[in-house]
């Protein structure tokens, strides 16, 4: 078997007449961190929404772990092992950290369907463990999320992926709204994941961050992939040229 975690072939999404994503061929290997870059509306988020099952693709194939998959929804994808941290934080403000980490997959003591009794102690312990593993510092996990800073919330959202040993993590601009210190914290978590060999797709506009953290950069432009660059073979100026359309990768000629 190959060590390819996720592969897409000709992934396409049309919103009516808008061709948001057109024939995307993409792959990510075990332990690899890949950045997706591109201008606003280039198709980055659309791409993520197709592979996480948030939306249904128009055509194309998604192959996860060597098998073609058709996720009915984000839960399906999550159960398969794809964990996404979205731009809009998927956290419930009124709940505390363990409640949020385990939202939708609570640990229970007794099982009575919806009336299952929750095992708060086990969930709290697991939360503390996974926060420690990811290096996230949250002073009081029993505080509702609404009392926390943007950085802390983002860390909770990311720690969620670490709790469940997902086989592929996707982060959509995880530091877009964060301050300097908070961004550093999130980047540290990403480095920890790299050391642990957990694959990651990172969507980011931050060139410094991308070059700091990932192995490979895939550039989207107007719904198509226009470049697939190893970090060592490129630099910031080069990537900008691809993003703006000044350059197009040799293998993608005629694509855009």
Contact residues toward another protein (CB under 8 A) are 54, 73-75, 78-79, 86, 88-95, 99, 103-106, 108, 112, 114-118, 137-140, 143, 146-149, 151-152, 155, 179, 181-182, 185
Give whichever of 186 and 219 is closer to another protein, judged by the CB atom: 186
Give whichever of 73 and 245 is closer to another protein, judged by the CB atom: 73
107, 119 in Cβ contact below 8 A? yes
Strands 200-203 and 168-172: parallel
Interatomic CA distance for residues 163 and 43, integer angstroms: 29
CB of 218 to another protein, least distance (A): 24
Give whichever of 59 and 146 is closer to another protein, judged by the CB atom: 146
CB of 99 to another protein, least distance (A): 6
CB of 161 to another protein, least distance (A): 13
Give whichever of 54 and 63 is closer to another protein, judged by the CB atom: 54
CB of 30 to another protein, least distance (A): 26
CB of 155 to another protein, least distance (A): 7
Concatenate the DSSP letters of all residues of the chain into one string.
---EEEEEEEEEEEETTEEEEEEEEEEEETT-EEEEEE-TTSSHHHHHHHHTTSS--SEEEEEETTEE---SSHHHHHHHTEEEE-SS----TTSBHHHHHTTTS--EEE-BTBTPEE-HHHHHHHHHHHHHHHT---S-TTSBGGGS-HHHHHHHHHHHHHHTT-SEEEEESTTTT--HHHHHHHHHHHHHHHHTT--EEEE-S-HHHHHHH-SEEEEEETTEEEEEEEGGG--HHHHHHHHHTS---GGGTT--
Interatomic CA distance for residues 30 and 6, integer angstroms: 9
CB of 60 to another protein, least distance (A): 23
Give whichever of 59 and 116 is closer to another protein, judged by the CB atom: 116
Structure tokens given for 15: 């919103």
CB of 87 to another protein, least distance (A): 12
Give whichever of 33 and 78 is closer to another protein, judged by the CB atom: 78
Give whichever of 39 and 126 is closer to another protein, judged by the CB atom: 126
159, 130 in Cβ contact below 8 A? yes
């Amino acid at each position: 078997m190959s060590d390819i975690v996720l592969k897409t072939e000709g992934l396409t999404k049309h919103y009516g007449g808008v061709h948001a994503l057109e024939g995307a061929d993409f792959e990510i290997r075990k332990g690899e961190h890949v950045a997706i870059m591109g201008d606003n509306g280039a198709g980055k988020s659309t791409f993520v929404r197709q592979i996480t099952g948030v939306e249904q693709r128009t055509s194309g194939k998604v192959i996860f772990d060597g098998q073609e998959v058709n996720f009915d929804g984000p839960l399906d994808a999550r159960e398969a092992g794809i964990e996404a941290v979205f731009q809009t934080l998927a956290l419930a403000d009124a709940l505390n950290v363990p409640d949020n980490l385990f939202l939708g997959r609570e640990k229970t003591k007794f099982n009575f369907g919806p009336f299952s009794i929750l095992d708060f102690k086990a969930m709290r312990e697991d939360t503390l463990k996974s926060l420690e593993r990811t290096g996230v510092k949250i002073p009081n996990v029993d505080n509702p999320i609404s009392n926390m800073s943007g950085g802390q919330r983002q860390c909770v959202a990311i720690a969620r992926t670490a709790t469940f040993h997902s086989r592929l993590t996707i982060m959509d601009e995880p530091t877009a709204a964060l301050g300097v210190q908070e961004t550093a914290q999130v980047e540290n978590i990403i480095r920890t994941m790299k050391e642990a060999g957990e694959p990651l797709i990172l969507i980011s506009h931050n060139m410094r961050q991308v070059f700091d953290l990932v192995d490979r950069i895939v550039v989207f432009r107007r719904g198509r992939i226009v470049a697939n660059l190893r970090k060592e073979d490129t630099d910031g100026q080069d990537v900008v040229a691809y993003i703006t359309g000044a350059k197009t990768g040799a293998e993608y000629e005629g694509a855009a």
